[in-house]
Structure 1
């Protein structure tokens, strides 16, 4: 039977002092020489940034920024190689505070919010007057999102050569929302000057269904944009997705437009239901006569909106129905 070994201190391996024992510093470089810029596109962890000096740069996000997402429209600071030479990478070390944030969720009961763009001051709701048919409830949702984000809204109606804009705009006569319309005549877009006037000097984000002519409009506003365009599926009547990511483009006359992929839903899970009514300014004025605590829902007792809509025309009924459907979709009572 082998004898038991007696161990001594000499048998213990001691790690040399001073190796790997230096505490990590919580101080971070100030990056006083960082170059400011604007995120114009995002592609799989790579960020297209236009520096204030005018140079396009490809950048990655610094590890110290954490996992928070950066989006088109963010103002950032860069270090490293900001020459923009092919094959080089800069590093984003700082993201400035956002002035506005446009969000949406996949559904009204989806708690996950997706930030679409940052720092835009105008939401351009692009909808076709025909082919595909306009969806007023989608417009209402976008108006609520714009109001919640502190952004102005603009209605841009395309394909006015297929249907007149007046019947659709009648729904929004009670709102202080400007509207423009365009139409194609012999491969030319008429009404583009009025659109340009509304966009000049502003940062505008374009949102709309696939197939409404959004990319066609962008290509007309920015001739070298080269955004892919597509038609409408003859079977489903829905537009085909052509743009896969958001991109910010400078307007020739000043200002920016941010083109976004076509959407088929615009969830408002991030918006408090108390703010819904504020976006329907025509209804909000009437609702001031409601009793205290009124929910303004379809089953709300003594709601002033019910008395107002009695005897009113179809436009008023459509507006109230759209507002109440939005409420119902958030409370789970929408069948």
Structure 2
């Protein structure tokens, strides 16, 4: 059999050799990168404040699947002029001080970062229209304690119901609270906003709550230029309609180092990322009582010889802690 190709055939020509230059693991130092703060995220575009200039940025490929969320402090390169049509590039996400997380359900292994670097979680709950839901409050408290973020309970629409019963439920936990009300059925002016504002000065606060509880209305009262869309409550289901569709972070007017993050209304708050055994760490006075608990004690109601049942702490506080523990472990049982 003769040769398949001759020197006149294209296939005979020697193909270019692969590059032999070894790839380097060294990454650019980006010495010219600027510090920025992510204040909004929308379909792969990150609205970032760089020296008070609003810059649109994308995520650099080396960051891979690493999420960039509202509240992140980042380093940015490229065009940071903020001019129309310009696009900068986020090359580094700096270490987060706190991370508020949730999962879709209690058995969902994929956690979602709600916001980074917040130090206060304001749980907004209506006293009526819609009715308060203790389950979400309890779960939000668990998430706050797990993240090392201080909780604040904000009760709205106190013109429709007395807040005392709900406040008494969380008093044993030492959760601070503020109460607001509408001026009248026709006047939507929010009374009590100044008391809320005092709690927010000097903090980075996240507003969290069910749809329809007045979260966006409160946000607009605190930051008038925000113009967040507001909505009512469905007369049939008693649930609020989703108005905010993405998280946004804005500065509290006339208050240095004060930021508000409005989040979309939620209907579920999974806690699969929280280990039940870690929750006791958020209650130092109760943790001291559990030092001599039997191995494997969960500190729940049915645990034999649990240190919490031997006295030494406020029974109401223990009951409140166990209610939070039950909110986390309900799916496991």
TM-score, structure 2 length as denominator? 0.88
Question: Structure 2 CA distance, aligned partners of 1:239 and 1:14?
Answer: 70
Q: 1:93 aligns with which of 91, 95, 117?
A: 91
For residue 30 of structure 2, what is the aligned residue in structure 1?
A: 31
Superposed CA offset, 1:248-305 (max 9, x none): 0111022100000011111111111112334467866776786564323343224466
Residue 208 of structure 2 corresponds to residue 207 of structure 1: yes
For residue 15 of structure 1, what is the aligned residue in structure 2?
A: 15
Is the Cα contact below 8 Å between 2:308 and 2:318 reproduced in 1?
no
For residue 145 of structure 2, what is the aligned residue in structure 1?
A: 147
Is the partner of 1:224 in helix, strand or coil?
helix
Instruction: Report the CA distance shift for 1:234/1:64 in structure 2 as closer, same or farther (over 3 A).
Output: same
Is the partner of 1:232 in helix, strand or coil?
coil
For residue 58 of structure 1, what is the aligned residue in structure 2?
A: 56
Mind listing any 5+ residue stretches in structure 1 that lack a counterpart?
none
RMSD of aligned residue pairs (Cα, Å): 2.6
Question: Structure 2 CA distance, aligned partners of 1:298 and 1:84?
Answer: 57
For residue 237 of structure 1, what is the aligned residue in structure 2?
A: 238
Is the Cα contact below 8 Å between 1:126 and 1:158 reproduced in 2?
yes
Count of aligned pairs between the two proteins: 323
Is the Cα contact below 8 Å between 1:175 and 1:281 reproduced in 2?
no
Instruction: Report the CA distance shift for 1:291/1:67 in structure 2 as closer, same or farther (over 3 A).
Output: closer
Is the partner of 2:151 in helix, strand or coil?
strand
Is the partner of 2:230 in helix, strand or coil?
coil
Residue 220 of structure 2 corresponds to residue 222 of structure 1: no
Is the partner of 2:224 in helix, strand or coil?
coil
Residue 253 of structure 2 corresponds to residue 252 of structure 1: yes
Question: Structure 2 CA distance, aligned partners of 1:64 and 1:84?
Answer: 23
Question: Structure 2 CA distance, aligned partners of 1:130 and 1:306?
Answer: 36
Question: Structure 1 CA distance, aligned partners of 2:34 and 2:317?
Answer: 52
Is the Cα contact below 8 Å between 1:174 and 1:281 reproduced in 2?
no
State how 1:180-195 maps to structure 2 within 5 Å. 180-185=178-183, 186-195=187-196
Question: Structure 1 CA distance, aligned partners of 2:233 and 2:285?
Answer: 34
State how 1:113-152 maps to structure 2 within 5 Å. 113-152=111-150
Is the Cα contact below 8 Å between 1:74 and 1:118 reproduced in 2?
yes
For residue 299 of structure 1, what is the aligned residue in structure 2?
A: 302
Is the Cα contact below 8 Å between 2:172 and 2:317 reproduced in 1?
no
Is the partner of 1:49 in helix, strand or coil?
strand
For residue 196 of structure 1, what is the aligned residue in structure 2?
A: 197
For residue 40 of structure 2, what is the aligned residue in structure 1?
A: 41
Is the Cα contact below 8 Å between 2:212 and 2:231 reproduced in 1?
yes
